[in-house]
Amino acid sequence: MEMGRKNLKCLTTIAFICVFVCSFSFHCCHARKTVDYRHWQVHRHHQGSGRSLRLTGSGHVGSEGVVGTSLASKGRATNGGSGNFNVLDFGAKGDGETDDTKAFQSAWESACNVEGSVVEVPSGSEFLVGPISFSGPNCQPNIMFQLDGKIIAPTSPSAWGSGMLQWIEFTKLKGITVKGTGTIDGQGSVWWNDSPTDNPTDKNLDKESSGGELPSTKPTALRFYGSDEVTVSGITIQNSQKAHLKFDSCTAVQVSSLTISSPGDSPNTDGIHLQNSQNVIISNSNIACGDDCISIQTGSSGVYIHNVNCGPGHGISIGGLGRDDTKACVSNVTVRDVKLQNTMNGVRIKTWQGGSGLVQGILFSNIQVTDVQTPIMIDQYYCDGGRCHNGSSAVAISGVNYVNIRGTYTSTPVHFACSDSLPCTGVTLDTIQLEGSSGSNEPFCWKAYGELKTSTVPPVDCLQSGNPFKAQAHDSC
């Protein structure tokens, strides 16, 4: 009997131990599942920022996140698994003939709802896209437009109605990036010709509309308006109908590794146009066009341009400013480490008579010119065709510094034509070495005051010293 009681006690103890072990194992297993799920939640949250998800063999979180197989499939079915929206998935054909405008708009509308999303325009396809606006302000921030394919503009008059100011536009966005290895082609030759139908070989010219005319208002190829933290990198913009790339009322703009290409005789095809934009960096880019390679207009400040090649074109310009008696303000602009070849001008400031405002704090440094007509120019009598009235008021120009400008010119090395009523002040020349071709002119100065920091080649003896009192009576900005 005593032995039986001992056996029973022993069996009871063993049973208790088994129950305890099983309970502990179940708790551990449940806890591990909870931890894995929490990890998935964290990495799923980052997915909207463009992070990819990776499934490891063990099912645990890897360096790029983890998600179960069924959930990953569901993510890919809805938005590519990482916030990617390929225009082909929204019905784009990419054959260069079918109108893909609606597909691009649909892809954008989906991407607009996802922070850090990517609109993909894949390589190997040519997309015919009409006038389109990728608009905020209700879009999530940090959207990327990944352009690796080619986008071409329609050439039929019916696609443009009575005229458009821009072809492709991004407006009122925060953290918008356009990058890739692709091309935006405005097919602008039909706009440049006197007759838009002089190019019958163009495959996109609507035969039914071939008897019509394109509108007189020519669009900018790519425009950004009212946006903050804008990045454009790597792409090519070519043969624009008018200006190639415009930033209007934007802040924190970065442009790099850009190629802009149009013939030198294509009218009004500015490369990059800045207006009412602040804190702009343009670097490591090649620009060939039929107007200013870079045009800096009123309201722009904190502009830094470096390592840019320009030509053909009209050079790098501030202005024209003050047209139709308006007020214009441009300040704190640096242009350095730039090469200009076969251009009309090198670095230029141009203002209309009758305007008001101020240009100040300008530095042109390390500029290499080759066969440039006029490397250094200030023109306060600018008039772009037609008759221009005389005016006593002017946009004041002060604090303009030219440092280390070298190369060859074909017309005039230095041209300073300043206002009678408001002369240019604070103009400095330092290390200027320019060699003219046969028959070239001597430097020209009118009402220009400043200082020669070093001797110049050729000598710029016409620059006056001092600072006339009446030059101080200008409108502040």
Hey, which residues are catalytic here? 291, 314
Neighbours of 324 (CB within 10 A): 7
Q: Are 106 and 118 in contact (CB under 8 A)?
A: no
DSSP 313: B
Which residues, other chains included, contact 234 with Cβ-Cβ below 8 Å and sequence gap of 6+? 179, 180, 181, 256, 257, 258
N- to C-terminal Cα separation, the chain: 110
Tokens of 141: 């921030």
Q: Based on the number of CB atoms within 10 Å of its own CB, is 298 exposed (0-12), middle (13-18) or buried (19 or more)? A: buried
Q: How far is CA 185 from CA 121, 138, 161, 284, in A?
A: 14, 29, 20, 21
| Cα–Cα distance, 87 to 82 (Å, whole number) | 15
Query: Residues 6 or more apart from 297 whose CB is under 8 A from it?
Result: 273, 274, 275, 276, 319, 321, 328, 330
Q: Does an H or E element contain 429, and which?
A: strand 424-436
Q: How far apart are CA 376 and CA 374, in angstroms?
A: 6
Label the pairing between strands 245-248 and 272-275: parallel
> What type of residue sits at position 25?
S
Query: In the chain, how long is the greatest CA-to-CA distance?
Result: 133
Report the amino acid identity of residue 113: N
d(CA 477, CA 464): 26
- Please report where in the chains the tokens 């080649």 appear, as a residue: 457
